[in-house]
Amino acid sequence: MMADLSQFDPNGFSVPNNNIFGLPFSEEEAQLVIVPVPWEVTVSFKGGTARAPENIVRASIQVDLFDSEYKNSWKKGIFMPAVDKKLLLKNDFLRKENELYLNFIKTGEKIETNKFMCKTLKEVNEGCKMMNEWVYEKTKILLDNGKKVGLLGGDHSTAFGFIKALSEKNESFGILQIDAHCDLRKSYEGLTYSHGSVMYNILESFPQITKLMQLGVRDYCESEWDYICNSEFKVTTYFERELKERLYEGQTWQQITDEIVAQLPENVYISYDIDGLDEKLCPHTGTPVPGGFDMEQVNYIFKKITSSGKKIIGFDLSETGVSSDGWDENVSARILFKLSNLVLSQD
């Protein structure tokens, strides 16, 4: 079903009553559907990412629709349904429960000594499992209907259910992860589906993933280092310190990017944690770390992937904070538009 764009002016003022980016598409008309996941239950530092999807939508009407690299890709249709209020309410309740739990374990007491805390931890873990199933069911239906799908978090744990759905559709694929963190911890803080464990859980659950390529990592623990070293090159991590040293010593970003792209399989999923960027671009993200990429550095990698002929099969964008001046959401809206065009530019 094609949308009638004869009355739509892409050069004019965005109509707030339209959908994301001010576009006039329905879900039926759009080739790409972005699923919002208002979830931040396991965030261990700053909150706010659960409200990111609705704030990014508001910021998105400021995004100009012309992309000189992927001209008119948006005309294939982009749609995002409204945030599920029941899921958001569940998030808010469990977020408070998890704060109680985290405050308790920070005292150094054993959780086994407190029945109430044992019950709280169980409820949080069960809630996160429920969220994973919710994402899986939503994305599976869309994929079954022939849609291209993107995910908008929320925290990084929201990607698990979508990866599960993609694993049923693709015999093999790789993940390109933009992130300040490895997210390879096993059951971080006792939380099975923590944002800090999402890539560990994905790799342990889905053998269809043949490669995890991590870029920009600058904050990690010893167990994650050991996991990478013992992965037999299934996980390749380009730590920021090493990337910067190579640039300081005269290598070009083109040389490094060509090396990265050459290691990716034919089908690629992009997992974009906003804290992989310089903090000036995402000051209110949940777990900020000094350093990080400029946005165009990452866009250059994406351009090299598409020009290489490799296929981007989906994406998630996570960990956007909510700011009083709308800056974080403004940046993320532009990243989301670029990711959408990347996917839509491919047949």
Asked if residues 59 and 321 have their Cβ atoms less than 8 Å apart, the reply is no
Range(s) of the domain holding residue 109: 20-344
Tell the burial category of 27 from Cβ atoms under 10 Å away from its Cβ (0-12, 13-18, 19+).
middle
Taking Cα atoms as reference points, which of 138, 73, 162 lies closest to residue 347? 73
- What Å distances lie between residue 3 and 9, 25, 31, 35, CA to CA? 13, 6, 11, 20
Residue type at 298 in one-letter notation: V
pLDDT tens by residue, 102-141:
888 888 878 888 888 899 999 999 999 999 999 999 999 9
What percent helix, strand, coil does the chain show, rounded to 5?
50, 15, 35
Residue 173 β-bridge partners: 209
Residue 5 maps to a domain: no
Asked if residues 220 and 235 have their Cβ atoms less than 8 Å apart, the reply is no
Q: Classify each residue of 224-249 as buried b or exposed e, where b means 16 or more C-beta atoms within 10 Å of its C-beta.
A: beebbeeeeeebbbbbbeebeebeee
DSSP for 78-104? EE-PPP-HHHHHHHHHHHHHHHHHHHH
pLDDT tens by residue, 315-337:
999 999 999 999 999 999 999 99
Distance CA 196, CA 200 (A): 9
Task: Give me 234's structure tokens.
Answer: 């299934």
What is the structure's pLDDT at 1? 65
Residue 6 maps to a domain: no
pLDDT greater than 80 at residue 246: yes
Residue 309 maps to a domain: yes
Q: What is the mean pLDDT of the chain?
A: 94
What is the structure's pLDDT at 45? 74
pLDDT greater than 70 at residue 63: yes
pLDDT greater than 80 at residue 231: yes
Asked if residues 257 and 246 have their Cβ atoms less than 8 Å apart, the reply is no
Task: Give me 219's structure tokens.
Answer: 């904050």
Task: Give me 265's structure tokens.
Answer: 């399989």
Residue 78 maps to a domain: yes
Asked if residues 151 and 162 have their Cβ atoms less than 8 Å apart, the reply is yes
When pLDDT is cut at 50, 70 and 90, the band that residue 262 belongs to is very high
Residue 116 maps to a domain: yes
**Number of separate domains in the chain:** 1
Residue 44 maps to a domain: yes
Residue type at 230 in one-letter notation: N
pLDDT greater than 80 at residue 279: yes
Residue type at 136 in one-letter notation: Y
What is residue 277's DSSP assignment? B
What is the structure's pLDDT at 190? 81
For residue 62, the domain's CATH number is 3.40.800.10
Q: Is the overall model pTM greater than 0.85, yes or no?
A: yes
Alpha helices in the chain (DSSP H): 52-60, 85-105, 115-144, 159-169, 198-205, 222-229, 240-248, 253-262, 295-307, 327-344
Asked if residues 59 and 334 have their Cβ atoms less than 8 Å apart, the reply is no
pLDDT tens by residue, 166-207:
999 999 999 999 999 999 999 877 889 999 999 999 999 999
- Three-state DSSP at 296 gives helix
pLDDT greater than 90 at residue 212: yes
Residue 9 maps to a domain: no
What is the structure's pLDDT at 344? 97
Residue 190 maps to a domain: yes
When pLDDT is cut at 50, 70 and 90, the band that residue 47 belongs to is confident
